[in-house]
């Protein structure tokens, strides 16, 4: 039998990236292909196939996404305490495959069944693969940020492909000669299942090279009872499906859940904090500041899958720099394409600035992220001034706004991921990663509320509808700009709490 690779051997790599990163990169890339492909279809599917109003579709979208990210918190916790990252990932992937198969058989009847499997599955998959990336590095290894950047690029390659292909198939812009009209949504959902199988196979091939990383905390235990803990998690996650179905379908229940899970996670963190030193706790408080602000960021950013998706579908021309494309495809992929192009140059810009002792600290970067987000929303607002004779506004301006949004995201999201791993003591790393994603859950949830609050009346004229949506984006722009200014003003204070972590 070949000897299992040790953690030291994994972390002692001489190349720029550990070789295990590539397997995790591809596995996550395919998972995000499914996630973002689904996200790009959800609101449009609900509005066009389930006959929901824009307002309801937005609320439902927010609720669904909130559950996805809330489950990443729960999935992270169970991985830490019982399953380990590897088993969590396999279990999550399996659930996602089952969910997408439901949807491909009959998306209308099985909609909430399928979505619920996907929610729980993603919860077990998403946070744990990110945590495994963190484990490939020794504490203090300066190559960690570069690893996360590459991983983030993988996320966005998957998001681009999924965002373009799935809605393209569903709306008949791709493969329409081969797929009869009444089966197009089924085919798009079936693609999710196929791609998730590829993701899982990739992980299965990578697993061995991860050695001890991600094994269950009970792996070495002789106690037979611990096996039962595992079964309980599997059973519990299956049993939660019908409950989640009801909760997602009734957004009112989602409200209640969201009121509870945030305070609960905070209480749990405070409980864990009792044994840490003052400095460790101050760092955790700093991490919490990042987490809280990120909620506002995602609430505005995530209009992408909700109101902006509907806006693009209905009120934009199909002309992108002279080429004819579906505006929803641009909506679903422009952000990720810009991330793929600009993630590395922006990383290099930070290094360049740091050599000249001019690199802004993480708090100021967050602040800049908000200012970019605000600017982008002012550009969405300006779309009302570009409505042509056909009653449709400019796809080029819309895509440009996505470029600016992406600059904001790159100042915040990868920085947030790596700062969580730097500020949290080892014992609560999983928890803090979970809380980072839980902030996304709140962001998504508020995104749905925001989206619904700017949805026009069904009876309004097209021009009125465009004006209502764009007035909403102006409002969001101000929220973002104010948040950015507040962050920059209080940055010296948060910096103090970080005790030298950059």
Residue 274: Cβ within 10 Å count: 7
Q: Measured from the CB atom, is 84 or 163 closer to ligand GLN? A: 163
- Shortest Å, Cβ 212 to ligand GLN: 25
Assess 317 for contact with ligand GLN (CB under 6 A). Answer: no
Compute the distance between CA of residue 9 and CA of residue 6 in angstroms, rounded to an integer. 5
Task: Select the residue interacting with ligand GLN from 18, 23, 30, 32 (CB under 6 A).
Answer: 32
Q: Measured from the CB atom, is 195 or 383 closer to ligand GLN? A: 195
- Tell me the CB-side half-sphere exposure of residue 367, using CA atoms within 13 A: 16
- Shortest Å, Cβ 165 to ligand GLN: 17
Assess 155 for contact with ligand GLN (CB under 6 A). Answer: yes
Q: Measured from the CB atom, is 28 or 54 closer to ligand GLN? A: 28
* Burial category of 449 from C-beta neighbours within 10 Å (exposed 0-12, middle 13-18, buried 19 and up): middle
Q: Measured from the CB atom, is 43 or 413 closer to ligand GLN? A: 413
Angle, CA 162 vertex, CA 406 and CA 24 arms, to 5° = 80
Q: Measured from the CB atom, is 7 or 289 closer to ligand GLN? A: 289
- Shortest Å, Cβ 23 to ligand GLN: 17
- Any idea which residue has 């902006």 for tokens? 308
Q: Measured from the CB atom, is 10 or 38 closer to ligand GLN? A: 38
Residues between 106 and 135 with contacts to ligand GLN, criterion CB under 6 A = none
Total chain residues near ligand GLN (CB under 6 A): 6
Assess 199 for contact with ligand GLN (CB under 6 A). Answer: no
- Shortest Å, Cβ 310 to ligand GLN: 20
- Shortest Å, Cβ 417 to ligand GLN: 8
User: Measured in whole angstroms, how far is the alpha carbon of residue 234 from the centre of its chain?
Assistant: 24
Task: Select the residue interacting with ligand GLN from 100, 440, 455, 491 (CB under 6 A).
Answer: 440
Retrieve residue 186's tokens.
Answer: 């089924």
- Shortest Å, Cβ 415 to ligand GLN: 12
Output the DSSP codes for 422-463: HHS-GGGHHHHHHHHHHHHHHHHHHHHHHHHHTPPPTTS-HH
Q: Any bridge partners for residue 323, and if so which?
A: 320
Output the DSSP codes for 62-124: HHHHHHHHHHHHHHHHHIIIIIHHHHHHHHHHHHHHHHHHHHHH-TTTTHHHHHHHHHHHHHH
Q: Measured from the CB atom, is 153 or 193 closer to ligand GLN? A: 153
Secondary structure letter of residue 209 according to DSSP = G
- Shortest Å, Cβ 437 to ligand GLN: 6
Closest residue to ligand GLN, based on beta-carbon distance:
440
Task: Select the residue interacting with ligand GLN from 91, 298, 311, 442 (CB under 6 A).
Answer: 298
- Shortest Å, Cβ 284 to ligand GLN: 19
From residue 359 to residue 398, the character string flagging contacts with ligand GLN as x (rule: CB under 6 A) and all else as - is ----------------------------------------
Q: Measured from the CB atom, is 245 or 300 closer to ligand GLN? A: 300
Rg (CA), the chain: 22
Compute the distance between CA of residue 43 and CA of residue 58 in angstroms, rounded to an integer. 7
Give the closest residue to 50 by CA, choosing from 193, 241, 249, 187: 249
- Shortest Å, Cβ 198 to ligand GLN: 18
Residues between 397 and 416 with contacts to ligand GLN, criterion CB under 6 A = 413
Compute the distance between CA of residue 20 and CA of residue 217 in angstroms, rounded to an integer. 21
Q: Are 165 and 332 in contact (CB under 8 A)?
A: no
Compute the distance between CA of residue 8 and CA of residue 18 in angstroms, rounded to an integer. 12
Q: Measured from the CB atom, is 399 or 433 closer to ligand GLN? A: 433
Q: Which residues bind ligand GLN (CB under 6 A)?
A: 32, 155, 298, 413, 437, 440
């Amino acid at each position: 039998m070949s000897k299992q690779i040790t953690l030291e051997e994994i972390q002692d790599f001489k190349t720029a990236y550990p070789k295990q990163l590539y397997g995790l990169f591809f596995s996550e890339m395919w998972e995000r292909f499914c996630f973002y492909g689904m996200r790009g279809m959800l609101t449009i599917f609900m509005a066009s196939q389930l006959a929901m109003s824009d307002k309801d579709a937005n609320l439902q979208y927010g609720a669904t996404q909130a559950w996805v990210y809330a489950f990443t918190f729960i999935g992270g916790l169970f991985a830490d305490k019982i399953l380990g990252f590897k088993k969590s990932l396999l279990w999550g992937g399996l659930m996602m495959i089952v969910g997408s198969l439901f949807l491909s058989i009959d998306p209308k009847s099985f909609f909430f069944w399928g979505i619920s499997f996907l929610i729980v599955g993603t919860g077990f998959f998403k946070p744990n693969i990110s945590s495994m990336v963190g484990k490939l590095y020794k504490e203090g290894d300066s190559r960690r940020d570069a690893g996360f950047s590459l991983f983030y690029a993988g996320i966005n390659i998957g998001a681009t492909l999924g965002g373009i292909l799935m809605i393209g198939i569903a709306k008949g812009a791709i493969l329409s000669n081969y797929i009869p009209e009444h089966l197009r949504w089924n085919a798009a959902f079936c693609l999710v299942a196929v791609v998730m199988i590829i993701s899982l196979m990739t992980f299965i091939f990578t697993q061995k090279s991860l050695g001890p990383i991600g094994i269950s905390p009970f792996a070495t235990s002789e106690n037979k009872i611990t096996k039962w803990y595992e079964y309980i998690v599997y059973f519990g996650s299956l049993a939660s499906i019908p409950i989640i179905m009801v909760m997602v379908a009734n957004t009112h229940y989602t409200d209640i859940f969201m009121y509870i899970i945030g305070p609960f996670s905070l209480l749990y963190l405070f409980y864990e904090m009792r044994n840490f030193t003052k400095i460790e706790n101050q760092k955790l408080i700093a991490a919490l500041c990042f987490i809280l602000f990120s909620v506002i960021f995602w609430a505005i950013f995530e209009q992408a899958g909700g109101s902006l998706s509907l806006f693009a579908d209905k009120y934009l021309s199909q002309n992108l720099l002279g080429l004819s494309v579906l505006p929803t495809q641009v909506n679903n992929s422009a952000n990720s394409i810009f991330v793929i192009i600009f993630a590395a140059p922006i990383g290099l810009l930070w290094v360049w600035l740091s050599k000249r002792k001019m690199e802004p600290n993480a708090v100021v970067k967050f602040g800049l992220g908000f200012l970019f987000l605000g600017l982008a929303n002012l550009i969405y607002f300006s779309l009302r001034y570009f409505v042509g004779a056909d009653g449709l506004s400019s796809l080029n301006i819309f895509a440009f706004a996505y470029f600016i949004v992406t600059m904001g995201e790159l100042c915040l999201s990868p920085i947030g991921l790596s700062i969580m791993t730097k500020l949290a003591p080892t014992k609560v790393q999983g928890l803090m990663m979970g809380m980072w994603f839980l902030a996304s859950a709140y962001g998504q949830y508020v995104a749905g509320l925001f989206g619904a609050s700017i949805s026009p009346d069904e009876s309004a004229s097209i021009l009125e509808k465009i004006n209502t949506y764009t007035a909403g984006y102006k409002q969001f722009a101000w929220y973002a700009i104010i948040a950015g200014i507040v962050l920059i003003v209080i940055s010296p204070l948060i910096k103090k709490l970080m005790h030298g972590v950059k």
